[in-house]
Amino acid sequence: MFKSLSVLLLLITISLLLADGSARKARITTTDGTTQDLLIIGENSDSIKVKVLESTIAISKNSISSITYIDQPVTLEKMDQKLDTLITLQKTHVEDQKYNPLKNKNYGLELSTIGLLTLGQENGFMSGGFSLFRVDRSAEIIFPVTYSWMKDWDNKSALTVDMQYRKFLGFFDNIQNGLYLSALLSYAHTQGTRHDDQYNYQTHSYDYTYKKYNNDLLGFGFGLGYRRFSYSGWYWGTGLIVGRYINADEDFYEESMTSGRLIGEYFFDFEILKFGWSF
């Protein structure tokens, strides 16, 4: 039984040697007690092949008592380590390619395509943003900027600048991709002309007065949305935010801008078809 176990271990060792894909120096002891250092280069079912000078000689396995490798032997533990390393590297590579399109991207610039269609119109808006991706590899920090104008009889305009932190939810093992929840701080500057209608009981008519206004508002809000990033760098997204401007009192005149943002004590905004480039 011991002899059979020794032969089995010998065969396993030789198989691992050949799986390693290279010739190995070994000290071979035959059954008659002869010991010699040889270079093992292959095997078959009955013998191993060794190289002597420039010739290849086959030695019967039945004539071998033991094999001791002169250099570092190949063991099951070593093979397991190699396989574990290979599997880890392969897994990391797959995860990087499938789930990490922004792994090597640090910044992003985006622009609203719908806003471009309103250029030169009496009512329109321009909207863009600058993103930071490397601060948190499961989130995005973005600074959206929107300028809206409405050249009607009010002749009003609004500039909004936000700072949003968007945390990706990680569905389907995505990292910086997919659905997100956001928290934001917002600044808004609105200006225009406001009219006030007062009924004159003496003349039984309305008196119309016009007054220019400028407002600076600070607020906070929350939102949700969806971002889709590609390996090439292009991305697009849509989102919804709601919030409150804390210094807008109840008498503040509510502004409804062409950008889709409703500006008042409470604000609401919806964005769609924003495209960007990550780098």
Question: What CATH number does residue 233 fall under?
Answer: 2.40.160.20
Q: What does the mean pLDDT of the chain come to? A: 80
Which residue is it, tokens 């806003």? 115
Please state, in angstroms and as integers, the Cα–Cα distance from residue 241 to each residue in 41, 219, 266, 267, following that order.
70, 12, 11, 8
- Order of strands, sheet of 24-30, starting from the edge strand that comes earlier in the sequence: 55-60, 47-52, 35-43, 24-30, 64-69
Domain boundary among 74, 98, 126: 74
* AA letter at 215: N
Tell me what pLDDT residue 155 has.
82
Asked, for residue 11, whether it belongs to a domain, the answer is yes
Stretch among 38-42, 82-86, 218-222, 242-246 having the lowest mean pLDDT: 82-86
Same domain, yes or no: 142 and 24? no
Same domain, yes or no: 131 and 248? yes
Same domain, yes or no: 165 and 258? yes
Q: What does the pLDDT average to over 83-105?
A: 69
Same domain, yes or no: 172 and 259? yes
Higher-pLDDT residue of 5, 231: 231
Same domain, yes or no: 157 and 69? no
Which candidate, 227, 145, 224, 157, places its Cα nearest to that of 187? 145
Same domain, yes or no: 58 and 117? no
Reduced to 3 states, what is the DSSP secondary structure of residue 34? coil
Same domain, yes or no: 123 and 168? yes
- Is 80 exceeded by the pLDDT of residue 249? no
How would residue 32 be classed by pLDDT, with cut points 50, 70 and 90?
confident
Asked, for residue 100, whether it belongs to a domain, the answer is no
pLDDT in tens, 121-177: 888 899 999 999 999 989 999 999 999 998 876 788 899 999 999 999 987 666 888
Give yes or no for a contact between 278 and 120, defined as CB atoms under 8 angstroms apart: no
How would residue 106 be classed by pLDDT, with cut points 50, 70 and 90?
very high
Tell me what pLDDT residue 77 has.
62
- Is 50 exceeded by the pLDDT of residue 12? no
Rounded to an integer, what distance in angstroms lies between the CA atom of residue 151 and that of residue 52? 96
Q: Are strands 266-278 and 234-245 parallel, antiparallel or unpaired?
A: antiparallel
Asked, for residue 9, whether it belongs to a domain, the answer is yes
Residues in the chain, how many?
A: 279
DSSP state, residue 24: E
Rounded to an integer, what distance in angstroms lies between the CA atom of residue 260 and that of residue 99? 33
Report the domain count for the chain: 2
Same domain, yes or no: 250 and 183? yes
Asked, for residue 84, whether it belongs to a domain, the answer is no
Tell me what pLDDT residue 222 has.
97
Asked, for residue 57, whether it belongs to a domain, the answer is yes
Give yes or no for a contact between 221 and 230, defined as CB atoms under 8 angstroms apart: no
Reduced to 3 states, what is the DSSP secondary structure of residue 169? coil
Considering the entire predicted model, what is its pTM? 0.62
Give yes or no for a contact between 178 and 227, defined as CB atoms under 8 angstroms apart: yes
Reduced to 3 states, what is the DSSP secondary structure of residue 102? coil
Q: What does the pLDDT average to over 31-44?
A: 82
- Is 60 exceeded by the pLDDT of residue 97? no
DSSP state, residue 279: -
Asked, for residue 99, whether it belongs to a domain, the answer is no
Same domain, yes or no: 169 and 255? yes
- Is 70 exceeded by the pLDDT of residue 93? no
Same domain, yes or no: 33 and 131? no
Q: Which two structure tokens, joined as six digits, stand for 141?
A: 């920090």
Asked, for residue 90, whether it belongs to a domain, the answer is no
CATH code of the domain containing 29: 2.30.30.100
Q: What does the pLDDT average to over 65-82?
A: 67
Higher-pLDDT residue of 72, 176: 176
Rounded to an integer, what distance in angstroms lies between the CA atom of residue 256 and that of residue 56? 90
Reduced to 3 states, what is the DSSP secondary structure of residue 190? strand
Domain boundary among 50, 74, 98: 74
Same domain, yes or no: 112 and 62? no
Higher-pLDDT residue of 270, 90: 270
Asked, for residue 113, whether it belongs to a domain, the answer is yes
Distance separating the N- and C-terminal Cα atoms of the chain: 66
Same domain, yes or no: 242 and 147? yes
Residue 70's domain spans which residues?
2-74
